[in-house]
Amino acid sequence: MNWTLALPEIVLAVAGLGILVAGVLPRRDMTFPCTMLVLGAFVLAGVLVLAQGEGTAFGGQYVADAYSAFMKLLALAGAALGLVLALDWNRAEGLARFEFPVLVLFATLGMLVMISANDLMSLYLGLELLSLPLYVIAAFARDNARSAEAGLKYFVLGALASGLLLYGASLVYGFAGTTNFDRLADALSSPQEVSAGVVVGIVFVIAALAFKVAAVPFHMWTPDVYEGAPTPVTAFFATAPKVAAVALMVRVLAGPFGEIHGQWQQVVVLASLGSMVLGALAAIGQANIKRLMAYSSIGHIGFVLMGLAVGGESGLRGVLVYMAIYLFMNLGAFAVLVAMRREGRAVEGVADLAGLGRTDPAMALAMAVFMFSMAGIPPLAGFFAKLYVLLPAVEQGFWILAVVAVLSSVVSAYYYLRIVKVMYFDAPLPGFAPRPMGVSLVLAGTGAFTLFFFLLPAPLLAAARKAVAALIG
């Protein structure tokens, strides 16, 4: 059993248990030291991922390859930056407790297990290890009714999704005779011989994973949870777990179920169309930026699913590039939200950004870059993200998907540009409180990536191409 392949996960698990003990023992506040230790664990795990070999472990339940390395590094980066955003915000809101970074660490451990899952059992283990800490941190502001409601809604609907996944997995196992992805691929290599029970099982599995990525029609939890959860938690929800869930969805559908893509392709196409349309239209009337970002994320997942539906090397490469760019521009936009504090309290309305171009030109410029990028305006990173999923769709003849994608981009540009208009043309409100150093660093880093990606896209494209080659051969 080649257990050394799983060293990144083992290190995170041991570090999490150690930090938990360290946080409980002394009487003084351990929030900051625990956060630094968790960030150190993320860095160490990232180094181990880069040094990781390739192969399978634990009886074929765990796989390490270029694809898992690419997605794990994205998930670790998202978790680390989300934790940096939470540090000062939690202190200002009276939520500075050492349990927070530990919960983020265990959620990240779940993400890494999900990304390397090579069996329906390890898939479920990783998904639950991710979900349980997320339910807790959604309700972390336990004295806030909105936060408690967000945690409860997420828990109830998440439990339903877990049930769907288990039912789908049991159907697949019952009709195919195995839960291992490699053996499933062999069992399903002849599409004409696949039983209806396996197809139904796959649909249930897709439904459960669609819940995790907030794709239509399993999106209903997203706006309420995004709005109710503490802002840094929302930033975390919108990025790292989404990367892990998309990674898992791609591995499951392109791997063991790749040969029978005709059976599930239409389900993904419909989810993609619904997500793009709903994301574009439902965000128009939103006055709360967190709700607006929730519908925006649903729209972005529609583009990701378009790449997955198209499939092939170019479609899946587009999915990976999209998720990398989405992670950084979304974290940047949420860094602005975290910095929105006026008179000692957090504000999150679109109107609260009025006149930001005059009161804080640097933050307004960063937010404008992120909004233009999400709208897909060249030469910003978001334009290339959309381009790399649109081109394969056009080449493969998915004209309806491509046309809906372009039209939804045009409609969504309205609410992204509305934020820019409010910042630069509305009468200014009093300025926000000074930004913490961590938030400024995240803003600068993600802003530079989004703005200058077009100068050096080759490394990301090459890494994505290598990852897809490892996945589909």
The 10s digit of each residue's pLDDT in 356-380 is 889 889 999 999 999 999 999 989 9
Which domain, by its residues, includes 66?
A: 3-472
* Tokens 């000062």 found at: 88
Mean pLDDT of 29-58: 90
- Distances in Å between the Cα of 390 and the Cα atoms of 156, 299, 369, 471 are 35, 14, 22, 21
- The reply to whether omega before 256 is within 30° of 0 (cis) is no
pLDDT band at 323 (very low <50, low <70, confident <90, very high): very high
Mean pLDDT of 173-202: 85
pLDDT above 90 (res 435): no
Highest mean pLDDT: which of 137-151, 233-247, 334-348?
233-247
Q: What pLDDT, on the 0 to 100 scale, is given for residue 186?
A: 85
Q: What percent of the chain has pLDDT over 70?
A: 100
Q: What pLDDT, on the 0 to 100 scale, is given for residue 307?
A: 93
pLDDT tens, position by position, 263-299? 888 999 999 999 999 999 999 989 999 999 999 999 9
Mean pLDDT of 67-72: 94
pLDDT above 70 (res 228): yes
Which range has the worst mean pLDDT, 81-85, 173-177, 416-420, 463-467?
A: 173-177
Highest mean pLDDT: which of 87-91, 251-255, 331-335, 347-351?
331-335
pLDDT tens, position by position, 130-178? 999 999 999 988 888 888 998 999 999 999 999 999 999 999 999 888 8
Mean pLDDT of 236-246: 92
Total domain count, the chain: 1
Mean pLDDT of 211-235: 90
Angle at 148 between CA 350 and CA 247, to 5 degrees: 75
pLDDT above 60 (res 1): no
Q: What pLDDT, on the 0 to 100 scale, is given for residue 126?
A: 93
Instruction: Write the secondary structure of the chain as one string of H (helix), E (strand) and C (coil).
Output: CCHHHHHHHHHHHHHHHHHHHHHHCCCCCCHHHHHHHHHHHHHHHHHHHHHCCCEEECCCCEEECHHHHHHHHHHHHHHHHHHHHHHHHHHHCCCCCCHHHHHHHHHHHHHHHHHCECEHHHHHHHHHHHHHHHHHHHCCCCCCHHHHHHHHHHHHHHHHHHHHHHHHHHHHHHHHCCCEHHHHHHHCCCHHHCCHHHHHHHHHHHHHHHHHHCCCCCCCCHHHHHHHCCHHHHHHHCCHHHHHHHHHHHHHHHCCCHHHHHHHHHHHHHHHHHHHHHHHHHCCCCCEHHHHHHHHHHHHHHHHHHHHHHCHHHHHHHHHHHHHHHHHHHHHHHHHHHHCEECCEECCEHHHHCCHHHHCHHHHHHHHHHHHHHHCCCCCHHHHHHHHHHHHHHHCCCHHHHHHHHHHHHHHHHHHHHHHHHHHHCCCCCCCCCCCHHHHHHHHHHHHHHHHHHHCCHHHHHHHHHHHHHHHC
Structure token pair of residue 469? 């080659």
Structure token pair of residue 83? 């934790």
pLDDT band at 429 (very low <50, low <70, confident <90, very high): confident
Q: Pick 238 or 2 by higher pLDDT.
A: 238
pLDDT tens, position by position, 105-128? 999 999 999 999 999 999 999 999
Q: What pLDDT, on the 0 to 100 scale, is given for residue 187?
A: 84
Residue 242 burial (10 A CB sphere; 0-12, 13-18, 19+): buried
Q: Pick 260 or 233 by higher pLDDT.
A: 233
Highest mean pLDDT: which of 25-29, 45-49, 339-343?
45-49
- Give the chain's mean pLDDT: 90
